[in-house]
């Protein structure tokens, strides 16, 4: 006598967050990202302008005084100090811009754009605030989401809990606060 093979049953995925909480809408998520991109882009542009002014000033001073000096290697050596400061300043600005998202996610769960849209990032398991580890992992996940033809972001449209690849990687979800 043979025993029948047990039937395979797919585990039931939770259908939503805790009662009274809803997942953030697609439009709210996109709007928040656009607002954040405008804010970060404006601040980065202004800081790069400030950091680049000494290099531009030196460059134009030499160009106006004696344009033929650009053929001389000593001129480029003279510009080298300003250029190195510009590169270092640009790198610092880039790192700060990159850490903008994880800073706000770990600090209160929402960037300025997310606050304006009434959404925030929480731990997918229990709805608690995320820390620096998941926030940094979510940032890496955003790069992965965008690297493959933005499919990781498009995934938000098809996944039942509206999680992108970055949310799945970091174990987070985005909820509405309104």
Query: How far, in Å, CA of 97 to CA of 115, rounded?
Result: 18
pTM: 0.82
The per-residue pLDDT for range 102-116, each reduced to its tens digit, is 999 999 999 999 999
Q: How many CB atoms lie within 10 A of CB 127?
A: 12
On the question of pLDDT at 16 being above 70, the answer is no
Which pLDDT value is given to residue 74? 83
Which pLDDT value is given to residue 10? 65
Residues 112 and 39 sit within 8 Å (Cβ to Cβ): yes
**Two structure tokens written together for 148:** 């493959």
Q: What is the 3-state secondary structure (H, E, C) of 63-90?
A: HHHCHHHHHCHHHHHHHHHHHHHHHHHH
Query: How far, in Å, CA of 56 to CA of 27, rounded?
Result: 41
């Amino acid at each position: 006598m043979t025993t029948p093979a047990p039937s395979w049953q797919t585990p039931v995925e939770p259908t939503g967050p805790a009662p009274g909480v809803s997942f953030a809408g697609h439009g709210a998520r996109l709007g928040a990202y656009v607002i954040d991109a405008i804010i970060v882009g404006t601040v980065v542009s202004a800081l790069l302008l400030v950091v680049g002014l000494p290099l531009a000033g030196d460059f134009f001073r030499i160009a106006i005084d004696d344009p033929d000096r650009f053929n001389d290697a000593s001129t480029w050596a003279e510009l080298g100090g300003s250029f190195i400061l510009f590169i270092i300043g640009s790198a610092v600005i880039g790192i700060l811009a990159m850490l903008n998202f994880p800073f706000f996610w770990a600090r209160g769960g929402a960037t300025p754009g997310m606050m304006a849209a009434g959404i925030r990032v929480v731990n997918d398991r229990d709805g608690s605030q995320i820390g620096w580890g998941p926030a940094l992992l979510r940032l890496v996940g955003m790069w992965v989401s965008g690297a493959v033809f933005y499919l990781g972001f498009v995934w938000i449209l098809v996944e039942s809990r509206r999680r992108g690849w970055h949310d799945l990687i970091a174990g987070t979800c985005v909820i509405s606060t309104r």
